[in-house]
Structure 1
Amino acid sequence: MATAAKAAAIAELTEQFRNSGAAVLTEYRGLTVAQLTELRGSIREHATYSVVKNTLTKLAANEAGVTDLDEQLQGPTAIAFVTGDPVEAAKGLRDFAKANPALVIKGGVLDGKPLTTAEITKLADLESRETLLAKLAGAMNASLTNAVYLFAAPLSQTARVVEALRAKVEQEGPQAGAAADAAAAETAEADPAAADEAPAETVEAAAAADEATTDVAEGGDDS
């Protein structure tokens, strides 16, 4: 390869290392052109897959500040430069390697730190960013729904009692409400849960008693 062509190749690889969040080195010996095309297509959304020359790649990696790749740059090498989700890229490579054993994952680098083959496999076993965000959103939504229910339920019950109070006063006056109020209080004291399930008449009567007390207080102020 001419010097100018080598320099251009090194510059391109250097940019790929710098612009990629991760890079996975593989050995592709034994894969057909059709299989390589299939592999490129399977990870295209998250990475580009390129056959490289080891010597030039070592120079480019050093230029980009990526170290500890020399041992992996042996034999026929192709690199998946990851520009998308590294988890999804690792999954794609792992799954393809399972179906096509000729593809061997040799190692890689993630955010400047070297990765072993085992670490790349662990990376592939993680859930994708989209899945994690979806689960987080679901958890937050569930928490908000529960919070709204806890706050809204007491307010709703209070509103029903107030409405019953007004209706009872209009229909029967304060005396009937006062008697029912005592019965409702005894029920709530004996069994707080039963108070929430009390018949509508009891709730309405208790509400009426409350209104009667208010009326008396207001009447006292007028005098």
Structure 2
Amino acid sequence: MDRAEKKEAVSHLNGVFSKTGVVVVAQYSGLTVAQMQRLRKQMREAGASVEVAKNRLAKIALEGTDVVSIGSLLKGPTLIAYSDDPVAAPKVAAAFAKDHDKFVLLGGAMGKTALNVDGVKALATMPSLDELRGKLVGLIQAPATKLAQLTTAPAAKLARVFGAYANRDAA
């Protein structure tokens, strides 16, 4: 890499670190190209991204960002997984680490909060933003549905009673 490419890489990584919701750092030594492609595909499907960057350039890019705490994790062959959704990248990374023992989670950061391996795994077990939104909409709709059923129930009961009396009188 020449000097201009390095500056471009640092500015790109700085933008990534500044804008993402969560960053996960893992070691990937020993993974095949096919396994790395599978990881990238799974991350992309979940709305996350994976990048392999030079550790020295990544440390320079970390300066002035909220996730500066991951600088100590950048040793050896590391990759950086990130997403805007605080659950997407940790969920895919933890599932991939469970299936591939050569993929080792090192930690990460969510905003200014540094995460160890257990913190990343804890984030992975949480529901995603879309799941939480679905549950919230369900909770909001449930009382309205019950209220509508309660307001129509007395009228329906009254109509059945009138119908029963009409049928009895006709017989």
TM-score category of the 2 structures, normalised to the smaller one: 0.7 to 0.9
Distance (Å, rounded) in 2 between the aligned partners of 1:200 and 1:159: 10
Does residue 1:43 correspond to 2:8, yes or no? Answer: no
Match of 1:200 in 2: 165
Question: Corresponding residue for 2:99?
Answer: 99
Tell me which of the two structures has the higher relative contact order, counting C-alpha pairs closer than 8 angstroms and 6 or more residues apart: 2
Return the offset for 1:103.
0.7
Count of residues in Structure 1 that have an aligned counterpart in Structure 2: 167
CA deviations on 1:52-87 (whole Å, 9 max, x unpaired) are 11111111011434322232111111101213x331
Alpha-carbon displacement from aligned partner over 1:81-116 (angstroms, at most 9, x marks no partner)? 213x33132111111111111111111111232211
5+ residue gaps in structure 1? 165-198, 205-223
2:29 aligned partner: 29
1:1-223 equivalent positions in 2, closer than 5 A: 1-45=1-45, 46-83=47-84, 85-158=85-158, 200=165
1:88 & 1:4 partners in 2: Cα distance? 32
- Which blocks of at least 5 consecutive residues in structure 2 are unaligned? none
Matched to 1:90, the amino acid is P
User: What TM-score comes out, normalization by structure 2 length?
Assistant: 0.85
Higher-Rg member (1/2): 1
1:20 Cα deviation from its structure 2 partner: 1.4
Cα offsets for 1:171-206 (capped at 9, x unmatched): xxxxxxxxxxxxxxxxxxxxxxxxxxxx738xx9xx
User: Higher helix fraction: Structure 1 or Structure 2?
Assistant: 1
TM-superposed deviation, 1:40? 0.2
Q: TM-score, length-normalised on structure 1?
A: 0.67
